[in-house]
Structure 1
Amino acid sequence: MTDSVVFPYNPPARDEFTEIAPGVRWIQVPMPGRLDHTNVWVIDDDDGWALVDTGLSTQEVVGAWEVLIAKPPLSGPLTRVLVTHMHADHIGLAGWLTRRYGVRLWISNIEYLMCRAMISDSGQEAPADALQFYRGAGWGEVAIEDYRARFGCFGTHVYALPHSFHRLQDGMRLQIGQHAWEVIAGHGHSPEQACLYCPELKLLISGDHVLPRGSANVCVFPLEPDANPIADWFASMISLKQRVPDDVLVAPGHHDVFLGLHARIEQLLSRQQEVLERLLALLEQPRRVVDVFSALFRSRISEFDSQHLGLATGQAVANLNYLIGAGRVAKEVRDGVARYRKI
């Protein structure tokens, strides 16, 4: 138990599943890195099963699925693949599974199109706008060159998407097997994440919108440098708390299923406010983006790892853009480098 958050189930063993509600099963598929897994959800659907999220497109995850789908009830037909959002660890094998079973992908419009756009970067040169975005944040040339080398790698972990999809949108109600589910959009971590809420089962599949530990990245990227995703995140968190009661079981994209949704939302909102206050205190003097990491992160961010540096930069810019939008910070660009100061 952590601050009124309770974990009632142990995670499933590798290549096994745990039933967390009637007809709803929890599976963990492997992924590299600290998280080491993605949670996916199997829901009884008429004479077969529906799947929510898929895991990365890697040989290891394909191997895990080959074992799983040989076991009842997954040995029956897959009826559809629903994806909460477009990050590779959630959508990676959607194309493989929909083609294998001849079924439709269900996903929100923006998530599908954004995923297609990011995949289209594969094999392309890093654009000048992106290089200027990171130089303006204070990156040195070592980090810029590493970014150039890594650019366009998103598509390597996403199997070719199907060329059509069924649109999920906020407020939509859909029938999966014997139960009705409501789509609740979550904004911030991704543009239009689709959480799935079943009142009868008292179950919320939250994707990465609400995690029981840590928090999902809310970032600004070069594609939309003036975006304010934290404002969107605040609004959708408050909306989620109003629309979903506290007694639900939450099935997140990572870590363990948990009880205590409202407490967790309040904890996340409070921590985000603390980050903003620490950031404001640091901005008594003008700072570049790379100068404010200490207000956001406990560990040092290395300039020699552009992947983590990019996420840290994206989170920092998201916080700075929020404070600009709130009228509390001003931005000045000199010689191509942005500096921010408290008003």
Structure 2
Amino acid sequence: MVKEVYKNIYTFQVVLPKSPLKATNIYIIKDRDKNLVLDTGYHTQETLDSMLAGLADLGLEMSDTDLFISHMHADHSGLASNFKSAGCKVYASVADGKIINDAANGSYWQLLYKLLDYFNVTGGETMAHVFHMVKRGQVHMDEREGVLYFTKLDDKYDPSWLKSV
């Protein structure tokens, strides 16, 4: 159900399947020349269907809008590629934009797999395991020149393995 929250600003919910959140709020700023969608929900068919239905209730199609991603969580950015494919401009912070572009061109995933390999994370373990290692003091995070490096505490600082990505 679409609700006008202020003149030319609307909100509706898109479903978040298999999430305890159940749904997230989407905001639309309507203008006669272009419209702006704030956030998207997950990258699932159910979320896409509810996004398209909400836009249709406003007399819009995805291609009638641009997209602003508030931050890089899956429940806020999941449908970004759908908007891009529809010819929309996608706006995000510089940091989030880099993550989005790196995920799209594969370098993010290459880095992730290098991190998993570097920390011997296998099987059912995930990046969460690496962050638990950080929390327990088994690894050190160091931000130099705007890049976040992970080093094992028993290693000398040598992020050369990371530079090849």
1:52 corresponding residue in structure 2: 38
- In the superposition, relative to structure 1, how do residues 316 and 36 fare at CA in structure 2: closer, same or farther (>3 Å)? farther
Q: Distance in 1 between matches of 2:31 and 2:98?
A: 27
Q: Distance in 2 between matches of 1:334 and 1:314?
A: 13
Q: Is 1:114 paired with 2:106?
A: no
Q: Say whether the 8 Å CA contact 2:63–2:88 is kept in structure 1.
A: no
Larger RCO, structure (CA 8 Å, separation 6 or more): 1
| Equivalent residue letter for 1:59 | Q
Q: Is 1:126 paired with 2:90?
A: no
Which of 127, 142, 145 is residue 123 of structure 2 equivalent to? 145
Q: Distance in 2 between matches of 1:81 and 1:106?
A: 6
After superposition, what is the alpha-carbon deviation per residue over 1:164-187, rounded to whole angstroms, capped at 9, x for unaligned?
Answer: xxxxxxxxxxxxxxxxxxxxxxxx
- In the superposition, relative to structure 1, how do residues 93 and 145 fare at CA in structure 2: closer, same or farther (>3 Å)? same
1:130, CA displacement in angstroms?
3.0
Larger Rg computed on CA atoms? 1
1:60, CA displacement in angstroms?
0.8
> How large is the Cα RMSD of the aligned pairs?
3.7
| Equivalent residue letter for 2:42 | L
Q: Say whether the 8 Å CA contact 2:83–2:90 is kept in structure 1.
A: no
Q: Distance in 1 between matches of 2:132 and 2:74?
A: 20
1:51, CA displacement in angstroms?
0.5
Q: Distance in 2 between matches of 1:76 and 1:26?
A: 15
Q: Is 1:81 paired with 2:67?
A: yes
TM-score w.r.t. length of structure 2: 0.64
Q: Say whether the 8 Å CA contact 2:42–2:77 is kept in structure 1.
A: yes
Q: Is 1:28 paired with 2:13?
A: yes
- In the superposition, relative to structure 1, how do residues 22 and 29 fare at CA in structure 2: closer, same or farther (>3 Å)? same
Runs of 5+ unmatched residues, structure 2 = 142-151, 156-165
Dislocated runs of 4+, deviation >4 Å: 121-125
**3-state SS of paired residue (2:82):** helix
1:72 corresponding residue in structure 2: 58
- In the superposition, relative to structure 1, how do residues 107 and 125 fare at CA in structure 2: closer, same or farther (>3 Å)? closer
1:40 corresponding residue in structure 2: 26
Q: Is 1:316 paired with 2:135?
A: yes
Q: Distance in 2 between matches of 1:29 and 1:310?
A: 31
Q: Say whether the 8 Å CA contact 2:2–2:57 is kept in structure 1.
A: no
Percent of aligned pairs with the same residue?
Answer: 22
TM-score w.r.t. length of structure 1: 0.34
Runs of 5+ unmatched residues, structure 1 = 1-15, 136-142, 148-305, 323-331, 336-343
1:48, CA displacement in angstroms?
4.5
Q: Say whether the 8 Å CA contact 2:68–2:90 is kept in structure 1.
A: yes
1:140 corresponding residue in structure 2: none
Q: Say whether the 8 Å CA contact 2:71–2:92 is kept in structure 1.
A: yes
Q: Say whether the 8 Å CA contact 2:36–2:67 is kept in structure 1.
A: yes
Q: Is 1:18 paired with 2:3?
A: yes
Q: Say whether the 8 Å CA contact 1:42–1:49 is kept in structure 2.
A: yes
1:90 corresponding residue in structure 2: 76
